[in-house]
């Protein structure tokens, strides 16, 4: 059974304990008991009871270091439930179901929204493979004295939600944003697959042109560059349209490396479609997009 089934079984005190730990993880790797008592608004004599409860549910980690050095931290399951609870309270995602896919830096689950709409909930898992490596490379982690995985995942999701909102406004072919909380981005679910999963593509030239039209529109109207555009981030839907997904790493067109990043995206797209018989000159495509 999915751990999201716990969301409706938990008491409000349990959520308060998790919230208190979350708030304090901005400053502490291991949150001391005094902070949990202060932020949870739970009767001090009952805090230990509720701490034990969420610990038994496997929602937090406990650092054993004697009474003076004891501390607590959220694990990913606890953080997931905080986000799921908030999204349900806001009527964004009324239920969360089966996994739709597991990526290097995210897990995607099916959900149900208002009116029975099918949703895709993307849980950001930044640093799952190497947190230290990610922390050194992401510009939003620079100069942070204490940067937790929780902070990184939250900022990554916030960036993606902000980019999708901007892209939805110009009607780019990207997923429709339905909501966002903590490390979770909620989007409309589409019936499609990554183009790299197809051995053969019908009319690859038409799909290539759809992709390039979007890159140009996004560059000129939203002033954004994807920065990781390739066959793994292009969905081909059942109704023969494309969707460009995965936007947390996108940068503005005034970024110091903007031209280099745009060129790399274009080269990736041209290289992939070249394997399907589409002849395209990356330099000419770049010049057309940028007007240079």
Same domain, 70 and 94: no
Please check whether residue 82 lies inside any domain of the structure: no
Give dist(CA 237, CA 188) in Å, integer: 13
**Res 108: pLDDT:** 96
Catalytic residue (choose from 80, 228, 246, 254) = 228
Please check whether residue 85 lies inside any domain of the structure: no
Using the 3D structure, point to which of 188, 217, 244 is the last residue of a domain.
188
Using the 3D structure, point to which of 77, 110, 133 is the last residue of a domain.
77
Report the CATH number at residue 139: 3.30.200.20
- Quote the mean pLDDT of the chain: 91
**Whether the predicted pLDDT of 86 surpasses 90:** yes
104: closest CA among 228, 267, 263?
A: 228
Q: Does residue 107 have an active-site annotation?
A: no
Confidence of residue 274 (pLDDT cuts 50, 70, 90): very high
> Which tens digit of pLDDT belongs to each residue from 143-182?
443 457 888 999 999 999 999 999 999 999 999 999 999 9
Q: Would the pTM count as exceeding 0.75?
A: yes
Using the 3D structure, point to which of 50, 77, 104 is the last residue of a domain.
77
Please check whether residue 84 lies inside any domain of the structure: no
In 10 A of CB 93, how many CB atoms? Answer: 26
Please check whether residue 176 lies inside any domain of the structure: yes
- Per the CB < 8 A criterion, the answer to whether 83 and 125 are in contact is no
Report the CATH number at residue 29: 1.10.10.10
- Where are the strands (E) in 113-255, listed by range? 118-124, 177-181, 184-188, 192-194, 224-225, 234-237, 242-244, 251-252
Q: 25: domain range? A: 3-77
**Whether the predicted pLDDT of 40 surpasses 90:** yes
H or E segment at 102?
strand 95-102
Same domain, 58 and 145: no
Confidence of residue 67 (pLDDT cuts 50, 70, 90): low
Please check whether residue 7 lies inside any domain of the structure: yes
Look at the chain and report how many structural domains it folds into: 3
Same domain, 277 and 201: yes
């Amino acid at each position: 059974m999915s751990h999201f089934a716990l969301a409706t079984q938990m008491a409000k005190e349990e959520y308060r304990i998790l919230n208190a730990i979350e708030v304090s993880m901005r400053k502490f790797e291991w949150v001391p008991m005094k902070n949990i008592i202060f932020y949870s608004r739970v009767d001090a004599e009952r805090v230990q009871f509720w701490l034990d409860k969420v610990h038994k549910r496997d929602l937090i980690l406990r650092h054993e270091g004697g009474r003076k050095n004891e501390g607590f931290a959220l694990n990913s399951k606890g953080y997931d439930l905080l986000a799921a609870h908030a999204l349900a309270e806001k009527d964004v995602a009324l239920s969360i179901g089966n996994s739709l896919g597991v990526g290097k830096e995210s897990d995607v689950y099916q959900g149900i929204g208002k009116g029975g709409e099918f949703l895709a909930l993307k849980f950001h898992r930044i640093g799952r493979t190497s947190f230290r490596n990610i922390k050194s490379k992401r510009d939003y982690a620079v100069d942070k004295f204490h940067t937790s995985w929780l902070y990184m995942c939250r900022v990554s999701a916030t960036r993606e939600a902000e980019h999708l909102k901007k892209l939805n406004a110009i009607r780019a072919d990207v997923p429709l944003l339905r909501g966002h909380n903590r490390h979770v981005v909620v989007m409309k679910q589409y019936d499609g697959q990554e183009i790299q999963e197809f051995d053969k593509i019908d009319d690859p030239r038409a799909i290539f042109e759809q992709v390039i039209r979007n890159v140009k529109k996004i560059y000129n109207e939203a002033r954004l560059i994807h920065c990781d555009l390739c066959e793994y981030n292009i969905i081909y839907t059942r109704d023969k349209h494309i969707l460009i997904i995965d936007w947390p790493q996108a940068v503005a067109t005034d970024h110091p490396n903007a031209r280099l990043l745009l060129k790399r995206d274009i080269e990736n797209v041209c290289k992939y479609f070249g394997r399907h018989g589409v002849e395209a000159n990356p330099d000419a495509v770049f010049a057309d997009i940028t007007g240079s």
